[in-house]
Each structure stands twice: as C-alpha cells, then as structure tokens.
Structure 1
C-alpha cells in the first residue's frame, strides 16, 4: 500500500506512473489522411533481429526495454503466436513504426506496442495508425480494447489515447532497473531522463 508523501528511490532504479486505459465499444475513427508512400504491413513471424531493431528505434527514447531482455525463445514464442499481430509502418521502403495487437487474453485486445520512429513523427501518421489499430482490434469479437502508458512515454501519449476514445480506469506505480545501466539500452537513450548511478 502506497502512502502519501515522498518515497526515496534507490540509485539505478526508475519510477513510472502508469495509466491504464480501455475502450469498451468501438469508436468512430477520427478523420485521417492516407499518407502518400506509407503502408501498414502485417509481419507474419517477424525475424527477431528485425523486430528488436524496430522496437529499439521506436522505443529507445522512451526507455522501452521489456522485449529487449527476453531471450530468443521467449520473444519468438510471443511473436509467432497467431493471437499476436505485428504490423510495420513502412515509409521509404523502411519500417518506421510498430503496431502490435495482443489477443491472447479471451475477449480482449491489448494495444501492446504502438509508436513511430523520430524519422516520421509529425506527419500525421499517429492518427492514421491509431485508426488502423482500432479497426483491426474490433474486427475480432472482443469486448475490451486496452492499453497502458506511463510517465516515461512521450508527453503527448496519454492525451492522444484519450482523444482516440480510450478511457482511463486505473493508475499504478512501476519501479524497475534503469535499462541503460543494465546494458539493455545504450546510455545515450532517453537523454531527457537523467541517470542516477549508485
């Protein structure tokens, strides 16, 4: 049980305020434009090196590390599960964004990973990609589409999810090892978040 007030966090650890959001019925897609020269391509059993590269390019500045600590077998088991759908936003012949939908929980879909590389941010692709995510999630017989974001993510993320039709329902605190100090991410990742060494 958390108590009010400040709690010291040991050096080498990070703290994130996590907000969980859900969508219980499909929402009408917000207006978007189909970006010229951009496609969304399903990746059937994506290669692990390909996946890790895209995951790092999209999430490195936001300290995404959970998939990078998984061994090959554990990661392949997720990505090759037919209930997990991985899509790449392809621009200029290169994957520049990720959409990962996880249907492994009955009647639900988790928006497991969603993001764009810095190369394509600011081009309206976020709204376009979210509309595709909502369409794809609700194309299956689910009763709940959900996502979580945290205070280490892009400052626009929480508001973007709310504007997309997700409703906040729970808040949590996550404490974890700084992935830049464990070697999971390079030390130059997420320069906006200072490293506190022991």
Structure 2
C-alpha cells in the first residue's frame, strides 16, 4: 500500500487567497449491511435522470449542492459533462417529492468490482425528515445488486455537519483522509457569492 503519511506536512499550510481547502474523508463498505431496506416516505420517489441536458443537470446540481460548495460538475465543459451524463456505467437518479426535484443520487460502476457513491444530496426543504436514510438504503441495494466487492464514498468538511456520521451509521468505515485545494467557485461565478456562508470567502486583494 502506498504510504501517503507525509503527503501534507505537519502543522499549518497557507492557502492562497481566492482558493478553498477542505479535509476529505474516504469511506468504504466491503459487504452489504444486514437489515431490511428502508422505504421512501409517501410522496417521495427515486427516478432515473431523464433529462441529460447539461444545463438542466447543472441547475439541479446547484439546487442540491450550492450550500455545501458542490462545484465539480459546474466547472466541467459541456463536452465533458455530457460524456459523464451519457456514461452507461453511471446510474444517476433524481429524488422527487411529489412533482418537485428534491435531491440527487449517483452511482459510478466504472471500476470493475466496485461502485462509488458519487453524490447523495437533498434540498434544504426536505432535510432532517429521514429521507436521506431511505435514499441511502436504496443506493446500497442498487450497489450490491451488482457483482461488486467494495462500495465507497467520500465526504468533506464543507458538507453538512452530520454527513460523516451519517455515512458511518450507514455501514461505511473511514480508511483515508485527503486535503483538497481548489479555486473558490463563488469567485469564478460558478456559484453565487452567498452560497455556503459557513465557508468564508477570502479573495485576493
């Protein structure tokens, strides 16, 4: 196994103005958890993404992830994003509440024998109602319905404060930490300036 223990030096490291940094925790499960699936509450459904138009997808992505600085799909070119959305080894689902989009869930089966939970997020109006637990249950069922040996996910310190504990309670075990540094997507216009107020903007002077 590669030793990354000295990849980031001990102590403080300066982050350039205009950039953001987060601590990423990677988690995995090596076998399907025991227990009956958790059904979605009445009025909620999990539907395969029908509209693969990149602009429509970005709108949903912002709606779900802006408060947590989701930006990876926003900075992609249309060509790259279209290739992601049309990849047959990716299963992308919209969480619907009656007739409204209320969340996003994506599984990536690109690597043989494993599946990544790339995204799982809900809009703010439906959080705290047990929906996440039901969606995670559905994601787990979908993941382990394929011949996989590992199901993994990563979360970071920009995410909802309960995200890491939620994944651990769902059966994932932490195995690695990383530090991610990126240009602040609010300063580039990919997200509004008032997105993720818990992460202050430090712009170059």
TM value normalised by structure 1:
0.96
Question: Is 2:92 the counterpart of 1:83?
Answer: no
Q: For the residues of structure 1 that align with 2:161 and 2:35, how far apart are their CA atoms?
A: 22
Task: Specify the alignment match of 1:197 in structure 2.
Answer: 203
Match of 1:116 among 122, 140, 144: 122
Task: Specify the alignment match of 1:12 in structure 2.
Answer: 18
Q: Is the 8 A contact 2:37 2:141 kept in 1?
A: no
Task: Specify the alignment match of 1:167 in structure 2.
Answer: 173
Task: Specify the alignment match of 1:41 in structure 2.
Answer: 47
**Residue-pair matches, total:** 198
> How far is 1:33 from its partner?
4.7
> How far is 1:159 from its partner?
0.4
Please tell me the root mean square deviation across aligned C-alpha atoms, in Å. 1.3
TM value normalised by structure 2:
0.92
Q: Is the 8 A contact 2:40 2:135 kept in 1?
A: no
Gaps of 5+ in 2: 1-6
Q: Summarize deviations over 1:92-149 as a string: whole Å, max 9, x none.
A: 2011111100001111100001010012111110000000000001111111110000
> How far is 1:49 from its partner?
2.3
Task: Specify the alignment match of 2:75 in structure 1.
Answer: 69
Question: Is 2:57 the counterpart of 1:51?
Answer: yes
Residues 121-136 of structure 1 mapped to structure 2, 5 A cutoff = 121-136=127-142
Q: For the residues of structure 2 that align with 1:44 and 1:186, how far apart are their CA atoms?
A: 26
> How far is 1:31 from its partner?
6.7
Q: Flag the 1:187–1:159 CA change in 2: closer, same or farther, 3 A.
A: same
Gaps of 5+ in 1: none
Task: Specify the alignment match of 2:4 in structure 1.
Answer: none
Q: For the residues of structure 2 that align with 1:136 and 1:45, how far apart are their CA atoms?
A: 21
Q: For the residues of structure 2 that align with 1:70 and 1:161, how far apart are their CA atoms?
A: 27
Q: For the residues of structure 2 that align with 1:192 and 1:92, how far apart are their CA atoms?
A: 30
Runs of 4+ in 1 over 2 A off after TM superposition: 28-34, 44-47
